[in-house]
Structure 1
Amino acid sequence: MQSIPYLSPIHGGVRDGVSIYIQGSVPENITRFRINLLCGESDSSDVALHFNPRFDGWDKVVFNSRKGGSWMSEEKIHKMPFSKGKPFELVIMITAKGFQVNNKDDFFLFPHRLPVERIRAIQVSGDVTIQTINIIGVSHASRPFLFQ
């Protein structure tokens, strides 16, 4: 089990063909959580992908990017791939067209706004429990992050 908030470098960075596999669960009393792919290793870094499920009565997932300290325009998907009090598996695939986010099925393709070569870290925060984060297909050896 990984403590939240969580921030870890992605050694070797990412490129087209890399997948990020996240296994976790959301509590019954969830409000929101976020997964950010950062272009640096601090909270103030640019954000290539902001994935933000919100349970606020109008359940939705917000996608966005941040460049130079400013958030860009949000893309809101009004369907929720997570259930309160349930485990989940999420895969973020980096493709030539964007970030393909899957949870059992294809959920959403978020187009690239920043070069994926700039991604250096993954950050997870909010109302979520994370068991595993695996980065599959990284440069050099495939080094999975395993949290038990």
Structure 2
Amino acid sequence: MKPEFSHPASLSVSGSISPTAAMTVYNPTIPYLGPIVGGLKQGSSISFQGSTPENMTRFQINLLCGDSDSNDIALHFNPRHDQGDQVVFNSRQDGEWGKEIVKNFLPFMIGQAFDMVILVTPPGYQIKVNGKDFYTFPFRLPVDRVRALQIEGDVSIRTIIITKE
């Protein structure tokens, strides 16, 4: 059975409901699966305010090319405290995972709040954590295929803001 979009605790859309509107989600229940209305394009960003628990092992943020977790994944962002403080980046197409890119540094302080941004830039998905560049994951799938956001694991999210510039 495919998971359907979850319903966050609070959802507000600022401006008119259009593909260029900003969308804000407050206090989503994790695991979270929600739409990115109108998809993403160059200049789009997804901002997160959240925290990791003291007992964090790992969490993941996926940009999905459809409305279920069985769809292609354009970006798999997977911080792993249980594997030596690393972040794994990947993508999945037609059920097959690509080559993992591993960064042996965890940009999150365990048990602390964080700000994170995924920016859609010409070379790829630029990840910033607490205002510092972390990594730019090159596009493997067209960015205009992204339709949903999935968050799972040991993380609490207070706010998600999706903007399209």
Which residue is 1:85 aligned to? 111
Residue 64 (structure 1) aligned with residue 102 (structure 2): no
Q: Deviations over 1:115-138 (max 9, x none)?
A: 001000000000000100000116
The structure whose RCO (Cα within 8 Å, separation 6+) is larger is 1
Alignment of 1:4-19 (within 5 A): 4-19=30-45
Residue 130 (structure 1) aligned with residue 127 (structure 2): no
User: Could you tell me which amino acid in structure 1 is paired with residue 124 of structure 2?
Assistant: G
Distance 1:137 1:42 in 2: 22
Distance 1:16 1:58 in 2: 33
User: Could you tell me which amino acid in structure 2 is paired with residue 100 of structure 1?
Assistant: Q
Q: Deviations over 1:85-134 (max 9, x none)?
A: 10110000001110000012110010000000100000000000010000
Task: Find the partner of 1:116 among 143, 146, 150.
Answer: 143
Deviation at 1:2, TM superposition (A): 1.4
SS of the residue 1:56 aligns to: helix
Which residue is 2:71 aligned to? 45
Query: Where does structure 1 differ by over 6 angstroms across 4 or more consecutive aligned residues?
Result: none
Distance 2:115 2:73 in 1: 22
Deviation at 1:29, TM superposition (A): 0.2
TM-score computed with the length of structure 1 as normaliser: 0.91
Alignment of 1:22-33 (within 5 A): 22-33=48-59
Q: Which runs of 5+ in 2 are unaligned?
A: 1-26
Q: Percent same amino acid at aligned positions?
A: 55
SS of the residue 2:144 aligns to: helix
Superposition RMSD on alpha carbons, in Å? 0.9
Distance 1:56 1:123 in 2: 21
Deviation at 1:57, TM superposition (A): 4.7
Q: Deviations over 1:34-68 (max 9, x none)?
A: 00000001010100000000001511000000000
SS of the residue 1:132 aligns to: strand
Deviation at 1:11, TM superposition (A): 0.4
Distance 1:57 1:74 in 2: 14
Distance 2:98 2:83 in 1: 24
Count of aligned residue pairs for this structure pair:
138
In the superposition, relative to structure 1, how do residues 9 and 57 fare at CA in structure 2: closer, same or farther (>3 Å)?
closer
TM-score computed with the length of structure 2 as normaliser: 0.82
